[in-house]
Structure 1
């Protein structure tokens, strides 16, 4: 029988077509698992791993619905006149898509099939999102972006987001105010995380002020006053040091629901990209990782690696 090529990818990294929709890789079957499988990155110990890691594959396989989907894909691929290319996509391409692709490749090889595997986006940084009381969308570590469009009930496409400069309306979109500073938590794409992996404060400020604002955010939103740890962490295991904060810039894109006819259910979502100061629409921000989060969890720009940022004093 002919060989099968399996491809994993992330929708957030795809180029867009003339209508603004993501253009997935060519394949006989494209499996979108963004809504079908819960994002496994809720497991804190796999945040910085990818789908090539057995631990991630195990988490993906034990996600509700994954075993049934894997069996369906394997039976489909093993048909006598079956496909030559199958593409599997999730949000960022790091966990669900790549992990399921590796599991499928293993199953097909066990059936005696020749399989080639290509991971398009597994090497890219994790996609993050702003975390706040309203539903929020992705935030990535790249400064390049495309505006998302959405198809309405009438079949026409509408711009689903626009450049946003947070001001007094920031409080309505998940920021809190502490001693004049607007601060919010940031998280990754899954809604399963209970606590933020980092913090963003509008404007450039002193490190000490950001620490105080971050502690105030945790106290007000999560009822937790110990910034060193997450609720439930054992202080006898590790008491992390407060990480340094960075002065950088970000471009905010907000979904102005329901003031347009897209017919979607995003509802007051926003996302932010780290960006150089010269990027159109860039807003000065100060950012800091939560001390209890993995070192690379928040994906903050690192001034020591020539990122467009400086260390807060």
Structure 2
């Protein structure tokens, strides 16, 4: 098997290592170093990793680098391929891109990849505006402190960059190591703040990034993300606490998942207590306050918050092992906190940028798309592509470039639904990723009073819908509009130029996280209705009043039918554009 070696580095720490392919990120991509809140973080921190990953152009560059590596492997030499990825300091951009590239090559293409970070753990390099370069002493890095309300109240004016704080305050490099005595929250009286109060949102505070100015005290550089108190797994901890507050609430009847959660928690309580002590010991070894973390347990009514907080510390103390972690997470996993247990994806968790611990979408792949005879028959019939999974798309970069609606790709190379999580995985459509459709809205009449719209009755569900369907491979949108209209109604409008209403996502019941429908809707105008005959995917056709949606739906009800709900937004868009249009003549 070919071996791929990736080395990330910072040009400020030395020249680029020898490599077949060198990727220089310094000039064209934003640098997290300029943000004081991220300057002393690294690519191991979620905030940095996401800031780099979502930088415009980064994922496209990673895709291009993957294809470049594959091109090297296609050459006559069987030797290893080396890649060097560099930025200024080697702690943010280079390390993140190296990780994304290694993940793509290993998980998508099945290659053996060795990833090394040459400068990730070296000191922060201070880069003043004047162009001087100074390496900050590791003994005096950017400090972070939690300023208490008494300190803030004694200062003239608002606290911001440049404000000087008293030197008596404790400052640390890792917010998790702040002593409990410093955790004095606004709107809360007393110095013993429990983690559950913070996680439940009943206590607020400001976490400030500061520089040591000696006897003058601490100079505020800016606000740091308050989630830093929770460590590298902050986003996952907060998401877990949010789900638990909504679906557990200390009550076995709170949700269908709650009974399963508490049954496992009760059955394993003794073992969980032992494992909790191990996780707290691992946190204490980093300098974190174990008392503060132990109070987190009652916030989500379980031990998973502490387990997640110490998830990056497994093996640092003898008792904190992968098995101990699994024990603490067992009730959470038994509850099945995916979409089946939650009854759909909550709106607050739909975005791919929001962590969703335990997300378990339901596979909706039908028999005709399952690998084997079902998929083979569908491919032979011409409506399905042969890829058995979303990581097998060799032309993914082209698909993204041609997409009607832009979409992202995850670290495994899977296309992600632009609207976020759907609660469904697998494929119930012809293609992975975007399935491009075209919908022809044909309206007849010379005035609003006699306006009618041509609809078909769908064979699959019996609802009345706009004529349209999926574009064929290589087919243009105008050609698809004319073809679908002709196939389903027998009406040929090839001689007309429609008004393109735009492209949009379609809430198709067959969509999943990795396969969805986007359509281009177009408006055809006619002076009067023309003869139509149902065919292909339609069982009936009809011309219905179209002065507004209410009138249309009343007419459909009188005909014993209903409107296909997915097409409601498209028809609304057509109505919005009809004012001032003139019908075309055949």
Give the alignment's TM-score, normalised by structure 1: 0.45
Name the one with the larger helix percent: 2
Name the larger-Rg structure: 2
RCO greater where, 1 or 2, for CA within 8 Å and sep 6 or more? 1
Name the one with the larger strand percent: 1
